[in-house]
Amino acid sequence: MYNKLLLAVDGSENSLRATEEAVKIAHLCTECSIDVVFVADHSKTKSEVLHAQGKEELNYERRKKILPVESNLQENKISYTLYMLHGDPGSIIVEHANNESIDMVILGSRGLNALQEMVLGSVSHKVMKGAESPVLIVK
Amino acid sequence: MVDKIKKEWFSNIRADILAGIVVALALIPEAIAFSIIAGVDPMVGLYASFIIAVTISFVGGRPGMISAATGAMALVMAPLVREHGLDYLLIATILTGVIQILFGVLKIAKLMKFIPRAVMIGFVNALAILIFMAQVPHFVGISNLTYLFVAVTLLIIYVLPRFFKAIPAPLIAIISLTAIALYTNVELRTVGDLGVITQSLPEFFIPNVPFTFETLLIVLPFSIALAIVGLLESLLTASIVDDMTDTESDKNKESRGQGIANVITGFFGGMAGCAMIGQSVINVKSGGRGRLSTFVAGSFLMFLIIVLGELVIQIPMPVLVGVMIMVSIGTFDWSSFTYLKKAPRSDAIVMLVTVGIVVATNDLSKGVIAGVILSAIFFVSKISKLTVTRELRNAKDMYIVEGQLFFASTEDFLKSFDFNVENQEITIDFSNSHIWDDSAVGAVDRVILKFEEKNNAVKIIGLDNPSKEIFHKFTLKSNID
């Protein structure tokens, strides 16, 4: 069944809810593994580099965002691999899903309104369109 | 070696060429606008962008980064051009390059860690504000049509990309609005009104200045400021590109490379430049990763000017202003507002002072230097907080020292003791303290001597090993262990 899941996280509340759902699905089969994908958004890099005192702090801050997700997976004894990638979140998630033959992509929706979506663009929409596998959007 | 060249130049050929073309198109309006800020002909900025980008693609330390004529440098050099003219700017540019090569050889990039982030945030915000302010004379109070063109330019730049991304929106704005302005024959100032565009390659020449000590005194302060500002923006940009591409870069090589590029551009009639945050981000986002992208950006820019120079001078100023307003909005760090609320008060003040001094002096280097000094003072005053509490233990006097004991905290330290006691056994506990320098040891000595004058016996306890070492090195009281 769904043996290889991709869980896209950004450290937000929504990605924590997505993690809960991923845990449920992972429990359905015995040899399930999850690719946890965090994308450092290129559009935010300037501001993040500016606000961090050096490379180490920047990577630490990002890692800190995913810690709740990791501890949830560890508690539930689910095997996972963490990918810290860089680029446009939508495109990178799609690329990873299609290259790694993922069975299902799981991600949280940011719940933007129509105007925000026009300005910021919707990651979940992009993933839904681009990924070859089923996509579960958790709200 | 061959493998490295192959990887840095030819591992991403198609995307590098495309990204380089996108960057070249975005560079042209900026190079022209920055020339206008510096007070020189557009060709000076365009030649600089061509030569610097092409040179840095060979000698830079950060593949995929774009260097060219920049706003930060243009702002610093403007007073020099105003008072002494172009030839002095070219000599200053060459000298800037020499200083930056020295920076690279002396590995000054390492010192970047001493520049607090509050100062860096202040630096980019001040830069954004200055770029915006430089546009004001070109659109405020000229004509209603000018306002209209600026507004339409901004509208195209910000709305169009939501529907259509293949061609950069600023370019669409420039082409369509220039066409409209030409077709309708409206009264608008154009780039051509502010300078000449020559459709030829740059030529080597030695700037026409007297080679005297006096000339050196005129250009040196500018060259130092340019070297600092250029290195700062280049290293910040390199860190951004490092993170975006998840790779490392050689910061000292980059500093040397910037220097070499500036020396060469000075001899070919171009103004000093450095790495550009905005353009480098555009390059990486467009897929540029290798040295080839930077090379294409520079050479395609020159090609466009030679082919299309006549059209470039027809660009209406308000359209260029609109593009530069976008650049300043993109440069500003909008998360600064949350930073001001969340960061420690002293950091917020350092950031605001950096911005304030730059805006007041029009010189980014002054703001940075003031910001660094101010944050050093804040740091010293924060760390010099020292408390000494007095306790009675078994009817004996006991002083507990907490905090760092060094030149800035010795005064508080000395004031904390009651020297009126006589014939007592007094203990001073340093378990929660650290002794840093000879003035700290001197202060401890003075306390002991003062107590001993009135026949008290003083015991020092709790010194950690490094404190003990420095204490024994400087103390006059050899009877303390």
Q: Are residues B50 and B113 in the same domain?
A: yes
Q: What are the phi and psi torsion angles at A84 (to 5°)?
A: -100, 105
**Secondary structure percentages of chain B, helix, strand, coil, to 5:** 70, 10, 25
Which residue among B162, B285, B333 places its CB closest to the CB of A50?
A: B333
pLDDT score recorded for residue A120: 60
Question: A58 touching B, CB under 8 A?
Answer: yes
Beta strands A4-9 and B274-275 are: unpaired
Measured between CA atoms, the residue of chain B closest to residue A49 is B240
Tell which of B376, B400, B429 closes a domain: B376
Domains for chain A: give ranges and CATH numbers.
4-138 (3.40.50.620)
Domain count of chain B?
2
pLDDT digits (tens, 9 = 90+) for B424-433: 888 999 999 9
Which residue among B245, B246, B335 places its CB closest to the CB of A47?
A: B335
Show which of residues 14-43 on chain A sit within 8 Å of chain B, judged by CB atoms. Answer: 40, 42
C-alpha distances (whole Å) from B403 to each of B376, B385, B391, B392, B470 are 18, 6, 17, 21, 17
pLDDT score recorded for residue A36: 94
The yes-or-no verdict on residue B393 having pLDDT over 80 is no
Report which of residues B310 and B277 the model is more confident about: B277
Q: Using an 8 Å Cβ cutoff, are A46 and B275 in contact?
A: no
Q: Using an 8 Å Cβ cutoff, are B75 and B37 in contact?
A: yes
In a domain, B76, yes or no: yes
Q: Are residues B367 and B399 in the same domain?
A: no
Contact A46 B162 (CB under 8 A): no
Which residue among B113, B117, B245 places its CB closest to the CB of A51?
A: B117
Q: Could you tell me the CATH number of the domain that includes residue B408?
A: 3.30.750.24
Other C-beta atoms within 10 Å of B281: how many?
20
- At B209, the pLDDT band (50, 70, 90 cuts) reads confident
Q: Are residues B222 and B363 in the same domain?
A: yes
pLDDT digits (tens, 9 = 90+) for B155-166: 999 988 888 877
pLDDT digits (tens, 9 = 90+) for A5-45: 999 998 888 889 999 999 999 888 878 889 999 999 998 89
Contact B243 A49 (CB under 8 A): yes
Q: Assign B50 to helix, strand or coil.
A: helix
CA-based torsion, B327, B328, B331, B332: positive or negative: negative
In a domain, B479, yes or no: no
CA gap B288, B294 in Å, rounded: 8
Measured between CA atoms, the residue of chain A closest to residue B339 is A51
Closest among B389, B385, B455, B453 to B417, alpha carbons compared: B389
In a domain, B102, yes or no: yes
Which residue among A46, A48, A87 places its CB closest to the CB of B277?
A: A46
Residues 6+ apart with CB under 8 A from B21: B296, B297, B300
Q: Closest Cα of chain A to B236: distance in Å? A: 8
- At B60, the pLDDT band (50, 70, 90 cuts) reads very high
The pLDDT of B179-191, averaged and rounded, is 88
- Residues of chain B positioned with their CB less than 8 A from the CB of A49: 236, 239-240, 243
The yes-or-no verdict on residue B112 having pLDDT over 80 is no
Q: Closest Cα of chain A to B121: distance in Å? A: 6
Q: Assign B202 to helix, strand or coil.
A: coil
CA gap A48, A51 in Å, rounded: 5
CA gap B105, B107 in Å, rounded: 5
Q: Are residues B48 and B144 in the same domain?
A: yes
The yes-or-no verdict on residue A113 having pLDDT over 70 is no
CA gap A115, A14 in Å, rounded: 20
In a domain, B207, yes or no: yes
Q: Are residues B106 and B144 in the same domain?
A: yes
H/E stretch holding B95 reads: helix B86-105
Residue-wise DSSP of B134-194: HHGGGTTTS-HHHHHHHHHHHHHHHHGGGT--SS-HHHHHHHHHHHHHHHHT----BHHHH
CA gap A83, A76 in Å, rounded: 19
Q: Using an 8 Å Cβ cutoff, are B258 and B275 in contact?
A: yes
- Residues of chain B positioned with their CB less than 8 A from the CB of A62: none
**Secondary structure percentages of chain A, helix, strand, coil, to 5:** 50, 25, 25
pLDDT digits (tens, 9 = 90+) for A65-108: 999 999 999 999 899 999 999 999 999 999 999 999 899 999 98
Tell which of B376, B406, B434 closes a domain: B376
Using a CB–CB cut-off of 8 Å, the residues of B that contact A are 113, 116-117, 120-121, 124, 162, 236, 239-240, 242-246, 277, 281, 284-285, 333-335, 339
pLDDT score recorded for residue A67: 92
Q: Are residues B69 and B174 in the same domain?
A: yes
Angle between helices B42-59 and B291-312 (to 10 degrees): 170
Structure token pair of residue B361: 């002096």
**Identity of residue B270:** G
Residues 6+ apart with CB under 8 A from B245: A86, B64, B284, B289
Q: Are residues B175 and B321 in the same domain?
A: yes
The yes-or-no verdict on residue B446 having pLDDT over 70 is yes
CA gap B335, B368 in Å, rounded: 20
pLDDT digits (tens, 9 = 90+) for B232-242: 999 999 999 99
Q: Are residues B63 and B82 in the same domain?
A: yes
Q: Are residues B367 and B410 in the same domain?
A: no
Task: Provide the residue range defining the domain that includes B266.
Answer: 2-376
Question: A48 touching B, CB under 8 A?
Answer: yes
The pLDDT of B337-364, averaged and rounded, is 93
Residue-wise DSSP of B2-42: HHHHHHHHHSSHHHHHHHHHHHHHHHHHHHHHHHHHHTS-H
Measured between CA atoms, the residue of chain A closest to residue B110 is A54
The yes-or-no verdict on residue A58 having pLDDT over 70 is yes
**Identity of residue B310:** E
Q: Assign A59 to helix, strand or coil.
A: helix
Q: Using an 8 Å Cβ cutoff, are B255 and B234 in contact?
A: yes
Tell which of B344, B376, B408 closes a domain: B376
In a domain, B481, yes or no: no
Question: A112 touching B, CB under 8 A?
Answer: no
Q: Are residues B53 and B188 in the same domain?
A: yes
Residues 6+ apart with CB under 8 A from B438: B470, B474
Closest among A94, A93, A90, A66 to A80, alpha carbons compared: A66
Measured between CA atoms, the residue of chain B closest to residue A88 is B285
The yes-or-no verdict on residue A118 having pLDDT over 70 is no
Angle between helices B438-453 and B465-474 (to 10 degrees): 70
- Residues of chain A positioned with their CB less than 8 A from the CB of B117: 50-53
pLDDT digits (tens, 9 = 90+) for B62-109: 999 999 999 999 999 999 999 999 999 999 999 999 999 999 999 887
The pLDDT of B311-340, averaged and rounded, is 92
The pLDDT of B39-54, averaged and rounded, is 95
pLDDT score recorded for residue A111: 65
Q: Are residues B181 and B200 in the same domain?
A: yes
Q: Are residues B397 and B372 in the same domain?
A: no
- At B111, the pLDDT band (50, 70, 90 cuts) reads confident
- Number of A/B CB contacts below 8 angstroms equals 49
In a domain, B287, yes or no: yes
In a domain, B291, yes or no: yes
pLDDT score recorded for residue B479: 58
Beta strands B274-275 and B387-393 are: unpaired
H/E stretch holding B373 reads: helix B364-383
In a domain, B156, yes or no: yes
Which site among A49, A84, A116 would you substitute to test the B interface, given the most B Cβ atoms closer than 10 Å to its Cβ? Answer: A49
pLDDT score recorded for residue B278: 92
pLDDT score recorded for residue B272: 97
